[in-house]
Structure 1
Amino acid sequence: MPSILIKSAQIVNEGRTSTGDVYVNHGRVEMIAEEINHHADHVIDAKGLHLLPGLIDDQVHFREPGLTYKADIWHESRAAVAGGTTSFMEMPNTVPNTLTQRLLQEKYDIASEKSLANYSFFMGAANDNLEEVLKTNPRDVCGIKIFMGSSTGNMLVDNQETLEKIFAEAPTLIAVHCEDEATIRENLAVYKEKYGEDGLTAAMHPQIRSEEACYLSSSKAVELAKKHGTRLHILHISTARETTLFENDKPLNEKKITAEACIHHLWFSDGDYAKKGNFIKWNPAVKTAQDRDSILRAILDGHIDVIATDHAPHTLEEKEKPYIQAPSGGPLVQHALQALLDLVKQGKLTLEELVQKTAHNTATLFQIESRGFIREGYWADLVLVDLNRPYTVSKANILSKCGWSPFDGHTFSSTIVHTLVSGNLAYTDGEIVEVGTGHRLLFNR
């Protein structure tokens, strides 16, 4: 593994920005100083660039196995690295659903051969696989995923006895998708009766998958976690009301209940459905501008702890179907950092806050070993960005297998210049570097 010396970067790390050099050797950060003159196999002149810890995305859907016609680990990990995301945690609603330890291991085997980024995979929970869930090893598996809302295959956990047992006995963190299925079905029936199936549009999505559906499910999850002392992490908060469920009066490493926000809920609002339609159809739905602004405030004041993507590609053909047939989800991992850097440019958050919510806090929350910070002895998961070089998204530079993006045609204010994954230069000046695979994430639990 070649040594790398990064010279004269603006290093954004642990609440401050300073100018300095970083020396990477044997995959790890060996030295950080104002000036380093060690010989290195590769020297990067980072003058005018900002050096950040690589993003750690705690919620992606890379679709492998079983749905590889729309995405796969090979393509999506490259999109991640091109966007400055160096580690990901992938969800279990693949085909077959990841509901046994054998199927979980098979995903790790695929990633060990194909993923350019570092990786971990959630073990899936269902109504009938408690024994398999309890075998999950907290040392090398990021967590257990529960869908408390509609999902793919057998992954909707709606049996109260099963939920109680999982919350009481889970050996590791539980991550939850919270939407109340009964409420959604009732809302959908009302809208079908009023407009007919052919009259439904994406603009109705936030009313069908409503604030009430989200809050009912999230509050139930919080209640269960408090009852059983569970380490709970609620994914993709989409409403202002839900932010009231979380506390901000203690350090992150002392919190038992945490929350995540996603890029699309920070960027889009219901005013965008007229133009974007199904291309911003996600579950939970993109809701009002007031919800969007409240989610950002909750990130800044500590009620919401991390920012992720819920990267979930579908084919262009699937997304162009009528609303009722079009699947929810979209590709985001390649442009997440650039979207957040635009929010920085707009004065809505600082670079230090961005790093805190996308790297430091994710590493702390999941107890990831030796990642998420620019520290001597830590793995060199790093991204260099040019805050003054615009970048326009087009089909020619989209790396996700699906070939489209909700940001298609948008010009971001910043460009990702270099990405290092576990000490390897994996992306540089618009090109993927074939350097082998990322590492399996380990957890200090």
Structure 2
Amino acid sequence: MSSAFQDVSIGIDFGTSNTVVAIADRGGRVEALTFDHRGARLRIYTTALCFWDERDGNGLRTRVEGGPWAIERFLEGVSAHRFIQSFKTFAASASFQETRIFRERFRFEDLLSTFLRTLLQHAGGRIDLAAGNITIGRPVEFAGYNPDDALAMRRYGTAFGKLGAGHARYAYEPVGAAFFYARELTRDATVLVADFGGGTSDFSVMRFSRVGGALRAEPLSHTGIGIAGDAFDYRIVDRIVSPRLGKGGSYRSMGKILSIPNHYYANFARWNQLALMKGNGDLKELRELARSALDPEPLERFADIVEYDLGFDLYRAVSAAKVALSSEEETEFRFRAEGIEVCAPVTRSQFESWIAEDVRSIGDTVDRALLSARVRPEEIDRVFLTGGTSFVPAIRRLFLERFGESRLSSADQFESIAYGLALIGQTDDPDRWVVGPRERERATMSLP
């Protein structure tokens, strides 16, 4: 190991929307890796890629940027490009084999390794994945329909291995959050950690105790579900946007009137899927459907959103509405781009009715975590909430009803997991916390 990295450990929280890298030293000090962008020091690196073509001599060369630089390049829109976000949700999907970007084919592991290379480039040599003591977070349950856990971990291993990090260990993301939170504890406690990401919601029950003056941790249970922020976004799009883009409409085919297939609109459930419609044949099919639709204009708007890569603008409009409804009873959804305009009032009560089934499923997953840990709600001393979705009133109310206000706490929604993962690397035996048989044996260990 390089001498510059002997005393530090690195935690990587590769998220659906944002990625955070943290560095901890032997003294227990931990900080996030920062990125200088347009005069601002950013502690998060947006999980996004932008590919574009540039003239190189007599031919074309594909260039790529990641993080905030990917968004910047995409918004400039000065040349043909492909913008990809939320691609973490492909990790456990056996149906996703590859996507074509200009003249190259990219598998999930190619997208992830490319993304990591851009991050390392902008880190400027401040971390070394080949030499480092690295702990990488992973969800308890990956997102998507029928997720293949083993496939996702093979893909992770291949991608990180390309950068020399084949030796890295993997720990559940809520366990990382628990390690970060445990530093604040002054007495023995049984803690429920709830980590809400973009694609998944994960829960861990941990028992912390003082033994000989050292704080020790014991994992009691882990559960997860592929429902989180992106699913809530989809409910807004499905109720407000999709009906204005042709959902529920009809088209003529061989003398019959048929319903426009709903599977095109299901792509809004994952922002990454929308970005791929441009290259998988869906865009061409939408244009053909528009020509035979009874009302072609909505489908033409949908095709324009795909062709002009307006998914990111739509994502920002949905996020703005969701954030507003966390503090207000009513807001107006506004999406305007390339001559397309969708504006509609939406109330918090409407939004909560749309996500009610999702919230119930999340609540059932919390209950499953308690049941597996063999603890009752009243035996949970503290509940630690992390992630942007934890601020949605319906989600917070779920925990208030089960545990009460006095037991709830939260921390920086972006950094807590990465900080905890980095701290795991400074423990006396960090490999005890890897996902696998030893972790499931509830091994205990001292925290830094």
TM-score (norm 2): 0.24
Higher Rg: 2
TM-score (norm 1): 0.24
Greater per-residue strand proportion: 2
Greater per-residue helix proportion: 2
